[in-house]
Amino acid sequence: MNSLPADGRAGIDAALVERLIAAQFPQWSGLPIIPVAVDGWDNRTYRLGEQATVRLPTAAGYVPAVAKENYWLPRLAPTLPVAVPTILGEGEPGEGYPFPWSVRGWLSGETAADLDRIGDLQRFALSVAEFIRALQRCDPTGGPLAGEHSFYRGAPPKHYDDETRRCLAELAGHIDTDRATVVWEAALAAEWTGPPVWFHGDIAHGNLLVEDGKLAAVIDFGTSGIGDPACDLVIAWTMFSGQSRAVFRHVVDHDDGAWARARGWALWKSMLTLVSSRGKDDKLAAVNEHIIEQVLADHDLAPRFR
């Protein structure tokens, strides 16, 4: 039976990609295959020649995203204000690799991880907010309802209640868990009752491409679907601050309940990351401590959700 090693990623390399391309897309055989400089965890990506990339899921849990993106990205792209990945080919399991995979068009630009690449952060925040609003205006008919395929992004944050409570217990004495508990419980209380709309599910600097200082493309729709868009607001604290955060908040234009849930999403993920990084990665731990404090401070200033 075809399988990958236990860690999922170790069995994926340029040689495997070369074999897959030769067997299934011989028209591209012989093109250079090079790992991308900044790779994700859910998938491994290789540049194929000058105009394409190959994207391979690293584990079974990430496989549903392949068919979802292959089907929906061409349908969403025409109404979005910046580029998203184009699908050039749909690969099948083979050559010792057990999952479906895809060939996509190359998108130029660098990730937004380095803020020095961004010419005007307030204008960038506006562009991200406009992208989110445009995505929410896309026709949701037949779209994949939030659930396991989106890792429950777009669903109520209560799915992660047990995990969040465990993090609160583990971080007692390290962060202000009393205030954090209030923020989390406010997120649970702010139930979403609106119609389902499209969400990306992972609006983060690693999925935003910058060219000439501006937002050029949005990638990685693996956690996308239709449901509650509050999960797409988390970038307000993970990337923006001060005036850029204010611009983002104004343009994205969501109610107090959505912001309460968004604070819950940000708190859950940052606490989870902090628990796993303490004592192992001081820089990552410090980043998430800062995000948590920003979220708590934002809650203190927020109008109370009713």
Residue 57 amino acid letter: P
Compute CA distances 6 → 9, 64, 149, whole Å.
Answer: 8, 19, 21
Q: Quick check: helix, strand or coil at residue 92?
A: coil
Predicted local confidence at residue 10, as pLDDT:
52
The model's pLDDT over 124-159, given as tens digits with 9 standing for 90+, comes to 999 999 999 999 999 999 999 999 999 999 999 999
277 domain-assigned: yes
What is the C-alpha separation between 203 and 235, in angstroms, rounded?
Answer: 6
- Cβ partners under 8 Å of residue 160, min gap 6: 152, 268
Pairing of strands 33-35, 43-48: antiparallel
With a threshold of 0.75, does the pTM exceed it? yes
Quote the number of domains for the chain.
2
Look at residue 5 in the predicted model and tell me its pLDDT. 44
Residues with Cβ < 8 Å from 210, sequence gap 6 or more? Answer: 109, 110, 111, 112, 117, 118, 124, 216
Return the CA Rg of the chain.
20
pLDDT for the residue 186? 97
Residue 221: which of 150, 147, 134 has the closest Cα?
Answer: 150
Predicted pLDDT at 258 = 97
Same domain, 177 and 33: no
Reduced to 3 states, what is the DSSP secondary structure of residue 63? coil
Q: Are residues 165 and 59 in the same domain?
A: no
State the CATH number of the domain containing residue 117: 3.90.1200.10
Domain that holds residue 166: 111-301
Q: Does residue 5 belong to any structural domain of this protein?
A: no
Does any domain span residue 6? no
Report d(CA 230, CA 67) in Å as an integer: 24
Q: In this predicted structure, what is the pLDDT of residue 306? A: 36
The verdict on 193 and 294 lying in the same domain is yes
d(CA 274, CA 44): 25
**What pLDDT score was predicted for residue 41?**
73
Out of 78, 107, 136, a domain closes at 107
Tell me: do 74 and 127 sit in the same domain: no
Residues 145 and 125 in one domain: yes
Low-confidence residues of the chain: pLDDT under 70: 1-10, 40, 304-306
Does some domain include residue 306? Answer: no
Residues 156 and 295 reside in one and the same domain:
yes
Domain termination residue (choose one: 84, 107, 130): 107
Residue 9 lies in a domain: no
Q: Which of 73, 107, 141 is the last residue of a domain?
A: 107
* Predicted local confidence at residue 179, as pLDDT: 97
Asked, for residue 8, whether it belongs to a domain, the answer is: no
